[in-house]
Every structure is written in structure tokens, then in C-alpha cells.
Amino acid sequence: MMNRRTFTLAALASAAAPAALQAQQFEITRTEAEWRALLTDAQYRVMRDEGTERAGSSPLDKNYADGTYFCRGCDLALYPSETKYDSGTGWPSFYDSLPGSIGTKPDRKLLSVRTEVHCRRCGSHLGHIFDDGPQPTGKRHCLNGVSLVFRAA
């Protein structure tokens, strides 16, 4: 049975959880001012405030050239072009990342829990992972193009 005290404690714990996750230590760290100097407003909103770019707005969604996608925040190689596919969602989508390149955490901002994906080295928000992708993984890494830099092979 949930009383007022239990409800209040649960609400405080859930409110503190995102702050605890943001406090995670990463290999590459920058001050807010350094991030703002490095990124455009749109890039900052997505990569540092975990926003989402508008569907269909990224030229990387329809890019199928051979190469590698890197983190815009720290230049870590994240996704090979071999794992990119057209999900029809309007965001660049991949079924797998390069080994050791990403981290994940639960995202409880909406009514359901999603899996947020970020760069394991600098913590920049990339997007979300869903269970409706193609084989061999069955995963869809649905990413924000503003978080990525593509380099042709």
C-alpha cells in the first residue's frame, strides 16, 4: 500500500536518478561553456540535453556510402556503414555499433522505458535502441544525425 510518505520518497528517488546518471564519469569531459563553443545550438540540445532532431532533417539518414560514423563530441568511431539500413523512420538507423563504442541507460522521460544510447567516451546522447531492427541483431539504433560525423572509406 502506498501512503504519502512512500509516494514522496519514490518521487524524489526517480527525480534524482537522471542527475545520478548525468554524473557518470567519462573519459572525455568538458565544461558546459566548452561544449557550447564546440557545438551548434541544435547539436547541444541533442547531444548534451538529450533532445531529438526532427525526423527527416538529417542528410545522414539517406547516406549509404561506405565509411564510418563518428561521435561529433569526441571523434570516437561508433558505427560502420555496413550496419546502416533504411528503417523508414526519418533518422539514421543501424543494427549494430562498433565494439566498445557506445553505452546505454534507461530513459524514463516518456510513458514507457526506452534504451538511450550515448558515446561511451564523452557521454554525448546519440539516440535510442529499439527491438524492431533487422537480423542479425534485431536491434534498431535510431540516431540523431547531428550527433554524428560521417567519413567516407
Which residue in 122, 74, 59, 127 sits closest to 97, CA to CA? Answer: 127
d(CA 151, CA 153) in angstroms, rounded, equals: 7
Is 142 a catalytic site residue? Answer: yes
Catalytic residue selected from 71, 74, 119, 142: 142
Supply the residues annotated as catalytic: 142
